[in-house]
Amino acid sequence: MTVAEWCIFATLMLYLLSIASIKWIRFRHFDNSRPRDPAFYDDPIAARALGAHQNGIEAFPFFAVAVLLAEFRGGPQRLIDELAVLFLIVRIAYVFTYLGNRPTLRSILWSIGFAINIAIFFMPAIRRFLPL
């Protein structure tokens, strides 16, 4: 497996852990028989953890498809790996800024992550212009 493919797995785990951690921390308040109970997410940190989780679900498919497409279409693997690692770092920072209630920085990080995905996605189309 390539580094980028491991980053796909790590990104998946990140969005799962962003909500699982808050459920574990607040386990006495979490009712597993009603896992989507809106009352659990009344707490501001739980609501932000849910938001980070949901955004992770939204961001994951594009990232996974972009990486796999770039690899299958013969993009430069080293650059794909580097951008995938960068995307993962940005997503980790994104989750922390979401939990820390830093909306402006969070939006900047989201934009950077989206730009990284665009770069990975179009890499096969522009590979002949890259100095690699």
Tokens linked to 128: 């002949």
Q: How far is CA 57 from CA 40, 83, 118, 126, in A?
A: 20, 19, 17, 28
Sign of CA dihedral 67, 82, 48, 15: positive
- Where do the structural domains in the chain lie, given as residue ranges? 3-26+39-129
Compute mean pLDDT per 10 residues along the chain, 132 residues long, and list them.
Answer: 98 94 76 74 89 96 98 94 98 97 97 98 87 70
The CATH code of domain 3-26+39-129 reads 1.20.120.550
Specify the pLDDT at position 48.
Answer: 94
pTM of the model as a whole:
0.90
DSSP letter assigned to residue 89: H
